[in-house]
Amino acid sequence: MNNLKKSIWFFDIDDTLIDTAGVNEIASEGIVEALEEKYGNEKSERIKVQFNKIFNTILAGYRLNKDSANANNQELLDESNSLLEKVANSQKLVIKEWGKYKKWSREVFIKLAMDKVGVEPRKAYVEGAAESYWKELTAKVSFFSGAIDLNTRLVKNNRPIFLITSSDARLQMRDDGQFLYKPEYSKKMKTKRIEQLRRRGLEYQGLSIGDPEDKPTIEFFKKAISLAENCLSKNLDLKNSVIVGDSYEGDLETPFTKMGFGMAILVRKNQTKLIKESDNLYSVGNLMDILKIFSES
């Protein structure tokens, strides 16, 4: 499958098209902005510092777990696991209804940061701070090299483009400190965030979000395919479908090995050239290098 003219494109967004993880600390300034009137600048700064500590520790633990050769950093893993236990403990109702908790909810991290600093978390401020964080993140996040150029070239070639992305886990806090997950609300908030990328030059026909079924389940990808088929008013030939993402397990493995997508492309932030990993599986740093795989006839 390397005929550009027949290709149909599915892109992950966060850390594939835009540098979401890279802008976390900058986005956390939004938390201070939202809270300082209520809690004062000094406490709000401390809440921000705790928020970043929680986010970075859980992210580091997640990356260590994925890279088992590195899993001897026991101290960091223990710290990350004890934070995750707190994250889970504030989602008893989510676990009861949905069978699992949401690991990356910024609302939960903010609430835990407030606990740590010793201010009473209130629903309006927890959710307001999360909203301000995501707003700041959306305003400040940058596209990766080649992302917009590739998008423009695909549009010029009349290629269908669909964005498929995980839930932001926009949870709602109750007065007792427990969180609720309402998929429609969470989805609405993420749609708003992603739609703003259009103004910065990203074009696409459809957006599929992981609320409630999320990556890497087959249901998540089936939902995206149905959306594409509706948009295009025809059945997709998955052999002509390309999936692009920054995580093999999260983004690529299910569509590529279980559903028959014709090509999978892994985006690695610091990679300098196009690498053929195996048949129809490639990795790139600059997204424009993807076009080298395709012929235009």
**Which of 25, 16, 30 shows the shortest CA–CA distance to 56?**
25
Nearer to Mg ion, 239 or 269 (CB): 269
Q: How far is the CB of 245 from Mg ion (least distance, A)?
A: 6
**Which of 269, 273, 9 shows the shortest CA–CA distance to 152?**
9
Q: 11 has which bridge partners?
A: 163, 244
> Which of 8, 9, 10, 14 forms a contact with Mg ion (CB under 5 A)?
14
Near Mg ion in 223-282, by CB under 5 A = 246
Instruction: Say how many CA atoms lie within 13 Å of 81 toward its Cβ.
Output: 9
Nearer to Mg ion, 112 or 252 (CB): 252
Per the CB < 8 A criterion, the answer to whether 210 and 191 are in contact is no
Nearer to Mg ion, 14 or 136 (CB): 14
Per the CB < 8 A criterion, the answer to whether 34 and 47 are in contact is no
- Residue 12 touching Mg ion (CB under 5 A): yes
CB atoms within 10 A of CB 20: 17
Q: How far is the CB of 217 from Mg ion (least distance, A)?
A: 15
Q: How far is the CB of 145 from Mg ion (least distance, A)?
A: 16
Q: DSSP 3-state assignment of 18? A: strand
Q: How far is the CB of 12 from Mg ion (least distance, A)?
A: 4
Per the CB < 8 A criterion, the answer to whether 248 and 12 are in contact is no
Nearer to Mg ion, 246 or 289 (CB): 246
Q: Which two tokens stand for residue 111?
A: 């609430």
Q: How far is the CB of 124 from Mg ion (least distance, A)?
A: 30
Residues touching Mg ion, count (CB under 5 A):
4
Cis check: omega of the bond before 160, within 30 degrees of 0: no
CA distance 215 to 220: 6
> Which of 7, 10, 11, 15 forms a contact with Mg ion (CB under 5 A)?
15
Near Mg ion in 113-152, by CB under 5 A = none
What count of residues does the chain have? 297
CA distance 48 to 40: 12
Q: Tell me the per-residue interface mask from 189 to 228 with Mg ion, x by CB under 5 A, - otherwise.
A: ----------------------------------------
Q: How far is the CB of 16 from Mg ion (least distance, A)?
A: 5
Tell me which residue has its CB nearest to Mg ion: 15
Nearer to Mg ion, 129 or 194 (CB): 194
Tell me which residues touch Mg ion (CB under 5 A): 12, 14-15, 246
